[in-house]
Amino acid sequence: MGYSAGGNLTFEVGKELINRGHQISDIILIDSYVREEKINVTDEEIKEHIRGFFDDVTIKGEFNREFLENAFCRRMERYLSHIYNNVNTGTIESNIHVIAKENRVNDEINKWSQLTSKSMKIYQGFGEYDDMLDEYNIDNNSQIVKSILEKI
């Protein structure tokens, strides 16, 4: 199971596990779309994107902001570089379940059907992208996951 870019990683890990002889009956993706091409960004653009995060939050307490920002930035640079360079190709021999954000069932989500030799089903999730897992929507979206797992 993966959320957003984690869904792309879930798909790729599932393919690799199948290539190694494991069976993966189903994967669950939460508001993920097929990444068809790399996103071309410079290292400086990645760093700027990450540093923008610190402009949006306030770190309270006795934390060393500079230390945290640098440690966070190093990890996020590697993560974003991987995400931006990951392209979903091939097919997986697993059912794909996609929980889409509110009002997002569209051609982007439907592209997952082209990447499975089995079935793909879309579920209408609760909340917008940024709040699908927040306190107001987590229970409803968890119920969708639970209902999928009960049918597997």
Question: 31 and 52 share a domain?
Answer: no
What residues make up the domain containing 48? 43-84
pLDDT of residue 136: 94
Question: 96 and 31 share a domain?
Answer: yes
- Measured between its terminal Cα atoms, the distance across the chain in Å is 13
pLDDT of residue 52: 72
Question: 96 and 147 share a domain?
Answer: yes
Question: 125 and 99 share a domain?
Answer: yes
CATH number of the structural domain spanning residue 140: 3.40.50.1820
Question: 110 and 143 share a domain?
Answer: yes
Question: 112 and 142 share a domain?
Answer: yes
Question: 30 and 98 share a domain?
Answer: yes
Question: 96 and 137 share a domain?
Answer: yes
* Spatial separation of the C-alpha atoms in residues 32 and 91, rounded to whole Å: 16
Neighbour count for residue 64 (Cβ, 10 Å)? 10
pLDDT of residue 45: 87
pLDDT of residue 76: 83
pLDDT of residue 64: 63
pLDDT per residue rounded down to tens, the chain (152 residues):
999 989 999 999 999 999 999 999 999 999 998 999 998 888 888 878 777 766 655 555 455 667 777 777 788 888 888 888 899 999 999 999 999 998 776 788 899 999 999 999 999 999 998 899 999 999 999 999 999 999 99
pLDDT of residue 65: 63
pLDDT of residue 113: 96
Domain count, the chain: 2
Question: 29 and 104 share a domain?
Answer: yes
Question: 48 and 70 share a domain?
Answer: yes
